[in-house]
Amino acid sequence: MLKSWKVRIGLSILTFFVLLAVLGPVIGGDPRANDISSISQPPSAHHLFGTTQFGQDVLAQTVAGARGSMLVGILAAAIGTLIAILVGVPAGYFGGAVDNGLNFFTNLFLVMPVLPLILIVAGYVQGTGPFVIALIIGLFGWSGGARTLRAQSLSLSSRDFVLAMRMIGEPHRRLIFFEVLPHLTGWISAMFLHGMIGGVMAEAGLAFLGITDSGSISWGTMIQAAQQQSAVLRGLWWWFVPPGLCIALIGTAATLVNFGVDEISNPKLRQARRSVVVRARKVVEA
Amino acid sequence: MSQPVLEARAVSKHFPAGRSTVRAVEDATLALQPGRIVALVGESGSGKTTLARLLARFYPPTSGEIRLHGETVKGKPRAYYSDVQLIFQDPFGSLNPLHRVRYNLERAVKLHHAVRSRAELDQKVTELLERVSLTPTEQYLDKFPHELSGGQRQRVVIARALAVEPKVLLGDEPISMLDVSIRLEMLNLLDRLRTEDGLALLYITHDIASARYLCDDIVVMYAGRMVEGGLKEDVIANPLHPYTQLLIDSSPDPERRDRPNLFDAEDLGEPPSLIDPPAGCRFHPRCPFAMNKCRTETPPRTELPEGRWTHCWLQENA
């Protein structure tokens, strides 16, 4: 998997952002410090990414925002994937009444208008920090994944090796987690990466709509602040481009890694190696 | 004859298929005795596998009952599985590709025996591999299924079933997916298990020759119904039901060359659909001896001397 250039690039971008999120407070300056001497200044030697309307350093804010956005993205993906596994796999494995119940539940979440619901829930919950936002995004974003896992485990559960272990007397719990689930790792990791992109985007979207706590710093709140101060009209591009670019980069990186995961579960997608192509050409020419 | 360990009494299994019903097994009766091997013979689609899966309790019978040690089985199948084990046809599908040989055997041992220590567990697993002749055992313990040949996998599958220490082993065409060169070894292994452990074995096959080699009794199925049964010598040497004659005629046998074939291979026809099986005897559309009665009434079981029985109006009226 690591041989593919897509996976390598994707993983290195993701690693970079994770490191940024972890080490952010050490390398970046204080994102809240106001430098009165330079307000709304374009990138310069002193402020590499320029400054905001309030004289805050955009670079320091972008670095600090990585922590907020990545935290929400990873946490939301983890919550969503976990629920998808816990609902989807038993539904497919047991079938019958269990499947009907869980599937009904999944369909309910699938057709729910998520955005208005998030707005309402976020409105009720006081203090929408990154954890609450991640929880909300995860809780409302698992249903598609659960459907996929249900379909997969439905077909896996009737395979001979599951029936054979059941005949040995293996309990359902172990059949699900030790016989069926390991075959789904490709799907689950793809789901997690998808969830992470979704989480980062959803956080940015919610922040842009002003749902999140404006005191916390994330890429979403940066873009929202830029919008509120009409940065676009005033040409302060250095204020909103860095956070926007970071979101796009994370999305690209996760998608690139996903290609690699897809190639594992579906060998037909695999690119032929150069040596194979050369050999094939020789055969055709001969 | 001793008391049967596992019995199927007049079991039927119907599967819903859209608006219609597939009558996969109808009114099947079968008894397995300790130390005896019963071969269940029939062509594909005759209900052999369905009957094996009914006996393995993968699904409940539509009607009839299954008896273990003379008692009707019901409720959770956990206890049932410590007496009855099934060996699947496909050794490539019945081992999880992600688990090592060791894992499969250790799970089976742990679930059915109180094993205290690591050493005891290792010893049990080694014994199992030795019983199925996978030696030296340490060479196989940590292999993944894809590193083994078909025959070796089937041995692992048998070892896993034996770890439970069952009384009955159901073999659902256990050698049909193996190379011809190792089939005989596998048959000898099954035979050894029967003699040494007194297992009751059901050997499902479409291959009369292997049934003749291994088993004591033969039961013939056609289109979901049992047509004939008895000691293997009797059934093969003197088949009573026209379908059994057809089945035996269609397997090659150099000694039988002089006997004229009963059937003209050209107009044999196909086995019937199980959604809408023929009324009366299910074999009547293909039977050269079919009478009017055969087309309307299902032939009852005719008991003959020495445990022979058949479902055929020819024998019933004789």
CA diameter of chain A: 77
Distance CA A69, CA A63 (A): 10
Q: Give the start-end residues of each E strand in A156-216.
A: none
In a domain, A156, yes or no: yes
> Is pLDDT larger for residue B26 or for residue B259?
B26
Domain that holds residue A102: 5-22+62-285
**Among the ranges given (A188-202, A259-273, B90-104, B154-168), the one the predictor scored with the smallest mean pLDDT:** A259-273
pLDDT in tens, B139-174: 898 888 888 988 899 999 999 999 988 999 999 988
Contact, A17 vs A246, CB < 8 A? yes
Confirm or reject contact between A245 and chain B (CB < 8 A).
no
Nearest to A197 by CA among A263, A249, A154, A264: A249
Answer yes or no: is pLDDT of A113 > 80. yes
pLDDT in tens, B100-126: 999 999 999 998 888 888 898 999 999
Report whether the peptide linkage leading into residue B136 is cis, meaning its omega lies within 30 degrees of zero: yes
Within 8 A of A182 by CB-CB distance, chain B residues are 98
Q: Scan residues 13-52 of A and list those with Cβ closer than 8 Å to B.
A: none
Distance CA B42, CA A7 (A): 53
Distance CA B224, CA B50 (A): 9
Where do the H-state alpha helices sit in B96-241? 101-112, 118-131, 137-141, 150-163, 180-197, 208-214, 232-237
Nearest to B215 by CA among B87, B40, B37: B37
In a domain, A56, yes or no: no
Within 8 A of B157 by CB-CB distance, chain A residues are 164
Confirm or reject contact between A158 and chain B (CB < 8 A).
no
In a domain, A196, yes or no: yes
Q: Which of B80, B87, B94, B156 to mutate to test the interface with A (most CBs of A within 10 A)?
A: B94
Task: Name beta bridge partners: B87.
Answer: B171
Of A167, A169, A179, the CB nearest to B96: A179
Confirm or reject contact between B210 and chain A (CB < 8 A).
no
> Cβ separation of A163 and B88 shorter than 8 Å?
yes
> Cβ separation of B96 and A161 shorter than 8 Å?
yes
Q: Which of B89, B107, B156, B170 to mutate to test the interface with A (most CBs of A within 10 A)?
A: B107
> Cβ separation of A164 and B160 shorter than 8 Å?
yes
In a domain, A242, yes or no: yes
Dihedral angle over CA of A39, A42, A46, A47, nearest 10: 80
Q: What is the average per-residue pLDDT within A28-46?
A: 73
Residue of A nearest to B164 (CA): A168
Distance CA B298, CA B281 (A): 5
Amino acid at B82: S
Distance CA A161, CA B104 (A): 10
Answer yes or no: is pLDDT of A69 > 70. yes
> Cβ separation of A169 and B82 shorter than 8 Å?
yes
**Positive/negative CA dihedral, A25, A29, A34, A40:** negative
Distance CA A240, CA A225 (A): 9
In a domain, A89, yes or no: yes
The number of distinct structural domains making up chain A is 1
Task: Name beta bridge partners: B37.
Answer: B201
> Cβ separation of B157 and A169 shorter than 8 Å?
no
Averaged pLDDT score across all residues of chain B: 86
Within 8 A of A183 by CB-CB distance, chain B residues are 98
Of A161, A169, A174, the CB nearest to B81: A169
Contact, B136 vs A141, CB < 8 A? no
- Where residue A38 falls among pLDDT bands split at 50, 70, 90? confident
Of B78, B93, B98, the CB nearest to A160: B93
> Cβ separation of B94 and A161 shorter than 8 Å?
yes
Of A160, A170, A182, the CB nearest to B88: A160
Contact, A257 vs A7, CB < 8 A? yes
Distance from CA of B50 to the nearest CA of A (A): 14
In a domain, A194, yes or no: yes
Distance CA B282, CA B224 (A): 9
Answer yes or no: is pLDDT of B214 > 70. yes
Q: What is the average per-residue pLDDT within B260-270?
A: 62
Q: How far is CA B210 from the centre of its chain?
A: 12
In a domain, A33, yes or no: no
Which pair of structure tokens corresponds to residue A22?
């972890």
Residue A177's domain is classified under what CATH number? 1.10.3720.10
Q: What is the ipTM of this complex?
A: 0.82
Q: Scan residues 174-203 of A and list those with Cβ closer than 8 Å to B.
A: 174, 178-179, 182-183
Distance from CA of B36 to the nearest CA of A (A): 22
In a domain, A168, yes or no: yes
Residue of A nearest to B99 (CA): A179
